[in-house]
Amino acid sequence: MKEKILEIIKESMDFVSGEEISKSLGVSRAAIWKHMKALKEEGYIIEAVSKKGYKLLKSPDLLTPKEVLPLINTRFIGREIIYFDVTDSTNNVARQYAMEGFSEGLVVIAEEQTKGKGRLGRPWETKSRQSIAFSVVLRPFIKPQDAPGITIVLGTAVCRALRNITSLKAGIKWPNDVIINGKKVCGILTEMSSEADAVNYIIAGVGINVNTSDFPEELKNIATSLKIEGKKEYERRVLLAEVLYQLESLYKDFKEQGLKNILEEFKSYSVTLNKRVKAASIKGTIEGLACDITGEGLLVIRLDNGEERKIVSGDVSVRGLGTYV
């Protein structure tokens, strides 16, 4: 009922009387008042004037389906959205839905994550109504060894979207950190379920610091937000819609051509290439020059002795990248 009332006042550019809404929906005016009160508590600014009725002045920047779906301009990614005020991790929830057979393109969104995580199991804090945290269910017909390409696709999509909406020069630290002015603004985490020669599904998780004003002391030198960098607030739903649009466009290209048409753009955003780096993994730590990214999305590091190593995954730090490591 509340959603129907919201739809009515959204469609009207002027006041709508309580009597008119009551007749349209077949409920009492007292019930209308109750639902209006609930909408105001959610952040909708509604003007109520005696003998004139109700008028919607402003909608809150919520990531609910009713606020996001009207902005979505895709064929399948984000056409179905499952929203939570609070959940442990959107990746965990999306994985469960994927296991239950939900379609490719399902997006799980949460205003707040209590156990959000990044690569290597590191925690990723999501502040309510300040960040964007979502996960997408993808079902590409690819081999497991080609799955790292999805991270390249995601990073490119996020960079495109941030540059389009904010004009800030977002860059990518291989493989999955989006940074602005040397600090992390977005983290990407892809998790896969596969057989020996085929991927069952991939959960693509993205967390973006949008309107966060401050960070804990231990993160101030390495984390930032769009608000801090752009010195203004941004509409999260608009940004989310743009990310999903760019993701679908690049993902379709990836399924047809692999990284052939995407890699050069990814490289143009890279803050890792042609820099001295240190890469730590379970096999040990190596140092050298990040000289290339392969067609499969692997980082190539040239050691001081001239040997070149391909890195599938690992913790890569870039020398000279401001305060970010």
Query: Which residues contribute to the annotated binding site?
Result: 89-91, 113, 184
The residues with which 190 forms a beta bridge, in sequence order, are 204
d(CA 65, CA 74): 14
3-state helix, strand, coil in the chain (%, to 5): 35, 30, 35
DSSP code per residue over 46-81: EEEETTTEEEEEE-----SHHHHGGG---SSTTSSE
d(CA 123, CA 217): 16
DSSP code per residue over 240-285: HHHHHHHHHHHHHHHHHHTTTTTHHHHHHHBSSTTSEEEEEETTEE
Q: Which residues does the annotation place in the binding site for biotin?
A: 89-91, 113, 184
Examine residue 144 and say whether the peptide bond preceding it is cis (omega within 30 degrees of 0): no
Instruction: Give the number of C-alpha atoms closer than 13 A to the C-alpha of residue 36, restricted to the C-beta side.
Output: 24
d(CA 59, CA 11): 13
User: Any idea what DSSP says for residue 287?
Assistant: E
Task: For residue 237, give both structure tokens.
Answer: 């739903």
Largest CA distance in the chain: 83
Q: What does each C-alpha distance from 320 to 182, 209, 229, 275, 323 come to in angstroms?
A: 9, 23, 20, 8, 8
User: Any idea what DSSP says for residue 305?
Assistant: T
